[in-house]
């Protein structure tokens, strides 16, 4: 967890990925990504912006200097490149000052939504750790504490003959907004989507401490997961590793029952 290649550096507009974890659509980009120590990736649409090579930064789109947030991202990258790899970066979170703009796009009022649901704003971590890979072989990003806890949980389940698979972990505010936009494009209303997905800024996934869990052969994020041996094992043992199920039946937040969604408790709530 402490090596630089295993860390995602997070800024408000741009994620800085370690090299070797991203796939390119073109042969040209694939060759660059294969040689890169880090890749700058825009949160809004997943576009690759630049690759950090041994000889310097290689732009992957025209007018890189005009990209939103590029100066902040380059400063964060420079800090990481000049810091010894053995020293983990300090914990921290990103500001929430752009959240209202995303809620405005959905026609949501921040104060009314928070009062109605009882959900708290969740800031994004400044750094995330590679916790392995999910069912779809995508990198699974969590906070360092959640990554360690998830790996211990998964290993303990395996000892008992239970296979646990991660479906998703950290999600940015921008990604959460994209979920709403894609569902709206399919004809769903914002109110319909809010019964399944928290508004951008209010999902536990933003904080890097929550993940969706399933087991081999089971559909992802379906209520049927509660009938599996994996869910029964989680009910008995997850709390030992600091995890709790956030959205039980009839929860006060207006979120549907989610037996697949588990979150690492805060230090104040975590078991001794």
- Work out the mean pLDDT of the chain and round it to a whole number: 92
pLDDT tens digits along 43-96: 988 999 999 999 999 999 999 999 999 999 999 999 989 987 777 788 899 999
At 268 the pLDDT is 41
Which domains, from first to last, does the chain contain? 4-82 (no CATH), 99-264 (3.30.1380.10)
Q: How far apart are CA 225 and CA 201, in angstroms?
A: 26
Residue 130's pLDDT is 97
Instruction: Flag whether pLDDT at 236 surpasses 50.
Output: yes
Give the tens place of pLDDT for each residue, 5-20.
Answer: 489 999 999 999 999 9
pTM: 0.92
């Amino acid at each position: 967890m402490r090596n630089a290649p295993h860390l995602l550096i997070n800024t408000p507009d741009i994620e800085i990925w370690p090299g070797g974890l991203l796939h390119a659509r073109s042969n040209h980009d694939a060759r660059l990504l294969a040689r890169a120590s880090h890749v700058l990736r825009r949160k809004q649409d997943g576009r690759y912006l630049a690759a950090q090579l041994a000889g310097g930064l290689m732009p992957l789109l025209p007018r890189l200097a005009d990209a939103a947030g590029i100066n902040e991202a380059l400063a964060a990258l420079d800090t990481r490149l000049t810091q010894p790899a053995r020293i983990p970066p300090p914990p921290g979170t990103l500001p929430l000052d752009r959240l209202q703009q995303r809620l405005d796009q959905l026609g949501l009022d921040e104060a009314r939504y928070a009062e109605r649901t009882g959900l708290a704003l969740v800031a994004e971590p400044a750094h995330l750790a590679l916790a392995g890979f999910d069912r779809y072989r995508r990198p699974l990003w969590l906070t360092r504490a959640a990554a360690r806890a998830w790996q211990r949980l998964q290993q303990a389940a395996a000892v008992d003959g239970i296979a646990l698979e991660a479906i998703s972990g950290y999600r940015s505010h921008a990604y959460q907004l994209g979920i709403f936009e894609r569902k709206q494009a399919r004809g769903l209303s914002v109110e319909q989507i809010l019964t399944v997905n928290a508004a951008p800024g209010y999902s536990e996934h933003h904080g890097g401490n929550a993940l969706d869990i399933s087991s081999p052969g089971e559909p992802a994020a379906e209520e049927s997961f509660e009938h599996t041996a994996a869910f029964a094992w989680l009910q008995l043992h997850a709390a030992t590793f600091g995890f709790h199920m956030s959205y039980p039946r009839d929860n006060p937040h207006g979120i549907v029952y989610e037996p697949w969604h588990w979150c690492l408790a805060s230090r104040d709530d975590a078991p001794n």
